[in-house]
Structures are given as C-alpha cells and as structure tokens.
Homo-oligomer: A and B are copies of this chain.
Amino acid sequence: MRSRVWRVTTTLDLTPARDTDDCCPGASCELLDADESEALAQVFKALGDPTRVRLLRYLARSHDGTACACHLPAALGISQPTLSFHLGKLHDAGLVTREKRGRWVHWTVLPEALAGARALLGIDAWCTPDGCPPGCCPAGCC
C-alpha cells in the first residue's frame, strides 16, 4: 500500500461457465482491478477499529486537522503503546502525518488520502433498488 494504480479495471469473464447453460446472457459488469481494490481495502482496514475511528474523527475536528495525542490514552481508556499502535496504523495507511514538536508528537489528517474511499461510497453513482444512474450494467442473470 504505497503504490496507487487507480482507474484500471477488468471485465467479468463470462466465457462459458458451463457449456450448455444460457445463464447471464447479457451481463458484462466491470470488476474493480485487484490493485485498486487492495489499496481501497487497506484504507478501510485502517478505519476498521473503533479506536481508530475515534482518533480520525478527533483529528478531523481539531483545529487545522492537527492535535497532539498526549491526553488520548486516558480519554480512550487504552495504554500508551496501544495508542501508538493505532496511530501507527493510521499513519501506515497514509491517513495522518506525524510531526515532532519538542517533546510531543502532533498528528495531522490527510483528507485527500480518503478520496478513493469517498468515491467508492459516493452513492450518486450507485445502482440501488430505487433506481440506477445512466449507463449501468444490464440485469442479465439467472
């Protein structure tokens, strides 16, 4: 998770699933590229823990998106190494930056790192039971 290979996609391979089966004659929906889905999953994995959700939201509400972590172990009810572990995870995922100021470390959100996640969750482009955007995949199957 450092490489960013956006925009690459592959189509669902529908070469004869079973020779005599006419299931899904029209379906040809795109499947997200493996690299891109891996990168997105890394971001979501970083958010997949309640402590880290709280940390990110805390930073996202702190002035300039920056705060020190000094009071957080007590506030969150976790040990200092555990806090360090979680901030490290956010950092590894590219969601925050570290900056040492004197004796303390200040953490800052990097909102642009969430662009991919936000795009995936962007409901405007979704097909839903209530309707589909133009150009969506045909209902082809079974």
Interface of A with B (CB < 8 Å)?
12-14, 17, 23-24, 27, 29-32, 34, 37-38, 40-41, 44-54, 56-68, 70-71, 74-76, 101-102, 104, 106, 108-109, 111, 114, 117-118, 120-123, 125-129, 132, 136-142
- Contacts A40-B50, A44-B53, A53-B32: A75 and B138 contacting too (C-beta < 8 A)? no
Docked CA distance A114–B102 (Å): 40
14 contacts between A and B (CB under 8 A): A12-B75, A24-B70, A32-B53, A34-B50, A37-B50, A40-B50, A59-B127, A61-B136, A62-B127, A63-B127, A65-B126, A68-B142, A106-B142, A114-B123
- Main secondary structure on A side of the interface with B: mixed
Chain B contacts for A12, CB-based, 8 A: 58, 71, 75
Docked CA distance A121–B47 (Å): 10
Chain B contacts for A65, CB-based, 8 A: 126-129, 132
Chain B contacts for A48, CB-based, 8 A: 41, 44-48
